[in-house]
């Protein structure tokens, strides 16, 4: 299957109605479009996060549509940054991004 590679420019966090921690990865800065991934963990630590297990099936979204699959491998780096390697599916289309940033101060 063909995979669309997204370039992430920045991130910001929000909290949904249940107070769950959402990371919003901005792939379109002009229109402020984001990939929203709702982690049940806060703080987020190294590990593999899977939709329906430790990622929300309701609030993980791309272009306003709920993901049918999502796996995020989080790696903690020596410089204090986290690397997010994300693969997800929306409407049978596959997407991937890799993004490294310092999430927590």
Over the stretch 10-46, which tens digit does the pLDDT of each residue have?
Answer: 999 988 777 777 999 999 999 999 999 999 888 899 9
Long-range contacts at 33-42 (CB < 8 A, ≥ 24 apart): 33/63, 35/6, 35/8, 35/61, 35/62, 35/86, 35/88, 35/95, 35/97, 36/60, 36/61, 36/62, 37/70, 37/72, 37/84, 37/86, 39/72
Single pTM value for the model: 0.93
């Amino acid at each position: 299957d063909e995979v669309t590679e997204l370039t992430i420019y920045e991130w910001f966090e929000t909290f949904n109605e249940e107070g769950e921690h959402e990371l919003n990865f901005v792939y379109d800065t002009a229109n402020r479009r984001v990939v929203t991934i709702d982690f049940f963990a806060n703080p987020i630590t190294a590990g593999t996060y899977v939709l329906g297990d430790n990622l929300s099936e309701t609030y993980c979204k791309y272009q306003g549509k709920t993901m049918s699959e999502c796996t995020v491998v989080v790696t903690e780096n020596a410089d204090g940054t986290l690397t997010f390697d994300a693969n997800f599916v929306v409407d049978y289309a596959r997407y991937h991004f890799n993004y490294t940033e310092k999430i927590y101060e």
